[in-house]
Structure 1
Amino acid sequence: MKKRKFKISDILFGVFIVLLLIPQTRTPIQVAVNKVKVAIWSPSIEDQEDQQKIAAFDYAVTDMQGATQHIAIGQGKVVFLSYWATWCPPCIAELPGIQALYTDYGDKVMFVLLTQEEPAKVLNFVARKQYHLPIYFPQMQAPEVLNENSLPTNYVIDAQGKIIVKETGAADWNSTKIRSLLDELIAEPMK
């Protein structure tokens, strides 16, 4: 039987696998892989017949400073709602796009980024990454239609409470398609 010779590609594959096993290198590799997905994957707009409507409600949250707030969802303003975490590689990969979208639309669209993590950890993360996003900690159970076990899960909800976009996994939120959608939803009169 002939002995197989190792090729450079075999060695590189082995090194890659080892790097994935080491916690300090695993997350940056996963974030890089998800950034490739973000670069090519724009969120999908729900078909008209698949768009679910949520009853208007006030989301009880605390902000980064610990103050309790009630955020109106489905009550006259377009909402970008995101469930995310600092330890989630797809979340980390898509946050720059969300930051860019917030920078341009933060005064016209209500951005609500929700996490279950410790506030100190989140504060450290956003300071290190230099994000300026409206991050909150939920103080109530979300309505059934917004319950999702995957991170990240993001929603674009119109002013009447219809879920126009529901996207699980990393996506390019700073895409032309999403910007056009937000422009259209902002210009839409209340019904």
Structure 2
Amino acid sequence: MKFIKKHWGNILFFAFVALLIIPQTRMPIQVFVQRLISFSPSEKKVSDRETLQDYQWNLQELEDGEINFSQSEGKVTIVNFWATWCPPCVAEMPSFQKLYDSYGNKVDFYFVTSEESEKVNRFLQKNSYSLPVFLQKYEAPKQLRSQALPTTYLISKTGEIIIDEEGAADWNSKKMRALLDNLLTE
């Protein structure tokens, strides 16, 4: 008993490390931590913004159809690259679902993954997500390419990339909603 009292801090630390090593407990812990540290995404400085030049990009719908990204030219658009195995991606999905529930009929949303459709469908059903998910079979336009997951782009009606965010963020924040409302009125 003296040993436990004397070393309880170390015991807790090693128990926590052990939980991070075990795959079944690692993912929920990482998702929880990511949600705690997620803030509203940041707008790019006006001087740093690029304008999307190429909207030609074929995407496969989750249920076997195909669309072209060019249908979103002239619209406010959100493109999110994600994966089911990525803790920051999973952490930001609830905020995206809330944003999509409010703006899905005003803003074009694209949740793009390279995973197998069966795995993605299981993930969406398990979490009751109704997000529009697309499978990436072709390379994205040059200005929408990133090596990091998640990466999210907010594109204005004029094609200006307003947000280029890597990592988890709170997409349902008041700041984000105000920005979308402003972009929709332009």
Question: What TM-score, normalized by structure 2, do the two folds share?
Answer: 0.94
Alignment pair present for 1:95 and 2:93: yes
Check whether the contact 2:114–2:137 (CA below 8 A) recurs between aligned residues. Answer: no
Distance in 2 (CA, whole Å) between partners of 1:186 and 1:79 is: 10
Residue 64 of structure 1 deviates from its aligned partner by: 1.2
Residue 11, structure 1, aligned to residue 11, structure 2? yes
Q: Which residue of 156, 164, 167 corresponds with 1:166? A: 164
Where do residues 35-184 of structure 1 align in structure 2 (5 Å cutoff)? 35-38=35-38, 41-72=39-70, 75-184=73-182
Q: Following the alignment from structure 1 to structure 2, what is the Cα–Cα distance between the partners of residues 168 and 18?
A: 28
CA RMSD of aligned residues (A): 1.5
1:33-65: CA deviation from partner (whole Å, max 9, x where unpaired): 101012xx1100110000111114132011111
Among the aligned pairs, what percent are the same residue?
43
Q: Compute the displacement of 1:19 (Å).
A: 0.7
Amino acid at match of 1:87: W
Contact 2:72 2:108 (8 Å CA) reproduced: no
Secondary structure of 1:95's match? helix
CA distance in 2, matches of 1:102, 1:67: 21
Could you list the runs of 4 or more consecutive aligned residues of structure 1 that deviate by over 4 angstroms after TM superposition?
A: none
What is the deviation of 1:71? Answer: 2.2
Q: Which runs of 5+ in 1 are unaligned?
A: none
1:20 match? 20
State whether residues 52 and 161 of structure 2, in contact with CA within 8 Å, keep that contact through their aligned partners in structure 1.
Answer: yes
Partner Cα distance (2:117, 2:97) in 1: 19
Hey, what's the Cα distance between the residues in 2 that align with 1:138 and 1:187? Answer: 31
In structure 1, C-alpha distance between the alignment counterparts of 2:64 and 2:26, rounded to whole Å? 32
Alpha-carbon shift at residue 74 of structure 1 (Å): 6.0
TM-score normalized by structure 1? 0.92
Structure with the higher fraction of residues in helix conformation = 2
1:73 to partner: Cα distance? 6.5
How many residue pairs get aligned? The number is 183
